[in-house]
Amino acid sequence: MSLTEARFHDLVDATQQAVEDIFDDSDLDLDLENSAGVLTVRFENGTQLIFSRQEPLRQLWLAARSGGFHFDYDQASERWICDSSDEQLGEMLARITLEQSGADLEFEEL
């Protein structure tokens, strides 16, 4: 069963809020901007993460220094899963945040 539009938006909104909360609770010097469904995280060193929703595909996209990644929501595990690597969003975010900022943050709830 595919996600309804409303459910998709609720899931992306909740995910972006959780990401914001994790970064807000960290000691990192960064800027967060959430505008028109796009969440941008700018690290002190100038690198950034950009989360955007791709409504027609029902995907969450992540742009990082290491590339662009597309995530489908897996209803069984209730997790966003990368469509090319099968990596969970939380695992990838932990790895990418460490690579880009040097900070070891936990994104287990994602």
Burial 62-98 (b: 16+ CB within 10 A, else e): bebeeeebebebeeeeebbbbeeeeebbbbbbbebbe
Give the predicted TM-score (pTM) of the model: 0.94
Burial class (CB in 10 A: 0-12, 13-18, 19+), 20: middle
In a domain, 109, yes or no: no
User: What is the structure's pLDDT at 27?
Assistant: 87
pLDDT at 1: 55
Domain for residue 75, yes or no?
yes
pLDDT in tens, the chain (110 residues): 579 999 999 999 999 999 999 999 998 999 999 999 899 999 999 999 999 999 999 999 999 999 999 999 999 999 999 999 999 999 999 999 999 999 999 998 88
Domain count, the chain: 1
Domain presence at residue 67: yes
Q: Which domain holds residue 21?
A: 3-99
Q: For residue 39, give the CATH number of its domain.
A: 3.30.920.10
Q: How far apart are CA 52 and CA 45, in angstroms?
A: 22
Q: Quick check: is 24 in a domain?
A: yes
Q: Is residue 106 part of a domain?
A: no
Q: Would you say residue 107 lies in a domain? A: no
